[in-house]
Chains A and B, each alone.
Chain A
Amino acid sequence: MTEQIEKPFITVEELYQKSQQRVALSILNNTASFSRKIRERELHRPGLAMSGFVDVFTFWRVQIMGNTEIGYLTTLPPDERRRSLETVLGFELPCVIITNNHTPPGELLEVANKHGITLFSTPLDTTTVTHHLSEYLETVFAEKTIIHGALVDVYGVGMLITGEPAVGKSELALDLIERGHQLVADDVVQITRLGMNRLEGAPTGRIKHYMEIRGLGIINIRSMFGIRAIRGKKVISVVVHLEKFTEDRDYERIGIDGKFREILGVQVPLVELPILPGKNITVIAEVIATNQKMRDLGENSAEDFNKNLINAMKDQENG
């Protein structure tokens, strides 16, 4: 059911546009290297490469020039400055970001233009730029996968509904929307792993907030139910797997030994729900969300009940 998406990249142009709100880049020279691709989330400070050591120069990363680099350049006589910059900018860099609104030395502009490299400037300091850009690039290059199912925000709990085709995933999602919960994605959920163990789900492209209901066709949830019925993305807290009820299958009756589903290496609590005619799955889904919320807050109904019961039985035994 899950498939890996090809390792992504973004162009310098996308970086420039999409990081505006975070780091407010402005173009110092031209857009010559706008079409170059960035394939890694790490940033690089080229200080050591400027001094001539280029053996391990990670030139394919976004280059950040801060106080150190600009300060170093100003200590060099003009011809050495030019030679130093030729060494660094001679590589096929995606772009260079100059922090603290530093005015670049004339040679920097010249050499950058010669090699067709875009120079950006930002008013922020190096640490702040590094932080915000890394965060942005992390979401771009995070591990992603696509899962067939519906993602709904139920009482603030991200619930991923999975199951065989035609088992009623979309119908459950629709029923939840009708009761005031929010749709994130239906049918195709794009999942991104953030950090070690957070999974974020979002709709993919054009099918965003549209839904297919068998027997009816495609409906637009946003126009039909309004802006309050939708949500752009949501961290996934629980997976509800719907399946047709079969006699010979054991379903969870206690809820102490939790089940999990692994997605992108993250263990997500799993509830397997048998579908029977006349059963109100929507109400059960709401209870699952509430129960998950309680568990996340350290309260486990089943465990608490069992503790009390065991104590009561011990008291009886002791007289």
Chain B
Amino acid sequence: MIEKKFRIKNKLGIHARPAGQLVKVATRFKSAIYISRNGNEVNAKSIMGVLMLEAGHGSEVIIRINGEDEFSALEAIEELIDKRQFDEE
């Protein structure tokens, strides 16, 4: 199992579109993927779960992954959250 903290940098935070992107990336992998904020952990493959976190600009989330392809999953999520910032400013 691996875990990593992320800071949300795009201006609007994880609203519907970024949540959709995250779920899309997460569902590509076999591993169980979770995302948590302020101690609330939800399945990163569930749209409504991810939206429930209300992770706005500057907030901190933890991604926890467990499974055979956990490293490549983390890499893909890093790419989306840190490098691409959900393709938003």
A residues whose Cβ falls under 8 Å from a Cβ of B: 250, 253-254, 256-257, 302, 305-306, 309-310, 312-314, 316-317
Contact = CB atoms under 8 A, between A and B. Distances in A.
Interface of B: 12-13, 15-17, 19-20, 23-24, 47, 51, 54-59
Given A254-B19, A302-B16, A313 B57 contact: yes
A253 B23 contact: yes
A250 B24 contact: yes
Contacts of B16: 254, 256, 302, 305-306, 309
Contacts of B55: 313
Nearest to A306: B16
Q: Which of B12, B16, B17, B47 has the most CB of A within 10 A?
A: B16
B54 A254 contact: no
Contact of B20 (A253, A314, A316): A253
A250 B20 CA distance: 10
Nearest to B52: A309
Contacts of B59: 313, 316-317
Contacts of B17: 254, 256-257, 306
B24 A313 contact: no
Closest 9 CB pairs of A and B: A313-B56, A306-B16, A313-B13, A254-B20, A254-B16, A317-B56, A253-B47, A310-B15, A253-B20
Contacts of B56: 312-314, 316-317
Contact of A316 (B15, B19, B54): B54
Contact of A309 (B24, B51, B57): B51
A302 B19 CA distance: 13
Nearest to B57: A317
Nearest to B56: A313
A254 B55 CA distance: 17
A306 B24 contact: no
Nearest to B28: A248
A302 B54 CA distance: 15
A279 B15 CA distance: 28
Given A250-B24, A313-B13, A313-B57, 7 more contacts: A254-B19, A254-B47, A256-B17, A310-B13, A317-B13, A317-B56, A317-B58
